[in-house]
Amino acid sequence: MIDVYRYSLLTGDQHAHCSEFLYLSHSSLLVRLLIFSSEQGPCGYPIDLPPSGLPSGQGFPPLPPGLPGLAPGPVARSPLSPTVVIVPGRRPARLQPSWARVMAWELLEAGLVNVLVADWLLPPEQEITEGARQVGERLAQAIQTLLEDQGSSPDLFHLVGFGVGAHVAGVTGACLEGTIGRITGLDPFSPLFSEADSSLSLDPTDAQYVDVIHTNFNPNEPVAPLGVPRPLGHVDFYIGRGYQLPGCPQALMKREQYLLCSHQRAYRLFTSSIRSSTRSSTRSSTRSSTRSSCPLTAFPCQGVEDFQRAHCTHCHHPGLNICPQLGYDISWLPPDRPITFEPLTAVLDITATDPFCVKPFLLEVHLEGNASLEAQLFIQLKGDVRKTPVMLVSGPSLKQFEPHHIHQFMVSVDPAVQEIRTVVLHFYSQHLLYLAWRKTRIHIHHLVLTQLPRHQGLISYRTGSVTAVENQRVEVYLQMEE
């Protein structure tokens, strides 16, 4: 049943009858909690919270009239089970955050029994930073009420906030003095918050563990980035180039998607990671699926440029000897609280489609001879059945290829490409040379392609000597090494 619901939620046209999200403009702030349950269908249901723990006049407002099919009273929770609270960002009154339903249902399928959504609306004229503070305070009051009335513990709560909702979650955590177990920030919103009081932004003190997924930290020209570029958590994951991510429009012809696609990729990645963790926990002990064998592995790194230059190929970080993995599953994380390692930034690439994971490789090109060449390096890997697209691995600028040097590049491969057999090299110099004798020849002593992260059992590939001619493709067979 859940699979049918997931399909219809993703298509976005099946649940017009789900009217649980607030949709009427109001002259004051509106906040309420919705609960999702696999027994009650795909829609969320408002929780009628008791007044204890809430200051006078600060309780949840009554539901707008005309909302059909809503639960008449409180919905049972399991106080000793983990609770995830999804916090959407700011939205127009009549635009429902359907992605939150999808995420809620994935959490239910993963076995979680307490799944809530903090629904909220601001009056159109209210300043967004002040509104986020008020929503965060009210959400903290609601969680405090649940803690008092149901005997739960704050470390069992996990807040997942998208955009402005990430800062709302941070305010909530700060109001609860950092006792919340985990906050996940999904591309925290940058405009206005970057210049606002620091208490309004998500930070590592807001929960026992704060992880942040940055997907739009560079501008979609001519528009500034929607996400905060600076680190905000214990672990900050930076995706690709931070704009025009794989699968997103590359031009303004689709203006709305061009501006929003990379920003929205944050909640798509996290939702996909919930499915991945479900498959991983139920996979066969003898043969794992492509999804479960391809986690969203990131590499500790100072920045995206260092990652692209293959300066970050190891997992070592002071206090942490494993590569962090983006997403819902934090079994890789040491159990100690507070977090025992220093805050880190980590970088990873993704593919265009769910499950978004890649197999990262390190490409090492060992040059010999006397000739040097200023060029861009394009490569393509071919497997038994499938092949990768042509990939520019040397970056957008021309690179100087010097003899007697080892040139290193990061290569991200779709896991569907299995048993790599050949590599196609193309050194593109941008010179319009038609006479063969005028073209520079690059002598490669050998080439090594090693799967990352580096640990025992992963595969590397190697070639013998190769001569490549500028502006010409050369295909080379790879020998697999265990």
List the binding residues for Ca(2+): 203, 206
> Other CB atoms closer than 10 Å to residue 29's CB: what's the count?
16
Distances (CA, A) of 6 to 20, 273, 275: 18, 15, 11
| Gyration radius of the chain over CA positions | 25
61-69 contacts, C-beta under 8 A, 24 or more apart: 61/26, 61/28, 61/30, 61/31, 61/32, 63/32, 64/22, 64/23, 64/24, 67/19, 67/20, 68/17, 68/19, 69/17, 69/19, 69/43
Cα distance between residue 141 and residue 172, in whole Å: 8
DSSP string over 259-324: HHHHHHHHHHHHHHHHHHHHHHHHS-SS---TTTT---B-EE-S-HHHHHTT------BTTB-S--
* Helix/strand/coil for 181: coil
Contact 308, 410 (CB under 8 A): yes
The b/e string for 433-457 (b: 16+ C-beta within 10 A; e otherwise) is eeeeeebbebebbebbbbbbeeeee
> Other CB atoms closer than 10 Å to residue 147's CB: what's the count?
18
CB neighbour class for 321 (10 Å; exposed up to 12, middle 13-18, buried from 19): exposed
Copy the structure tokens of residue 378: 């394009």
Q: Which residues contact 199 (CB under 8 A, 6 or more apart)?
A: 171, 174
- Binding residues, by number, are 203, 206
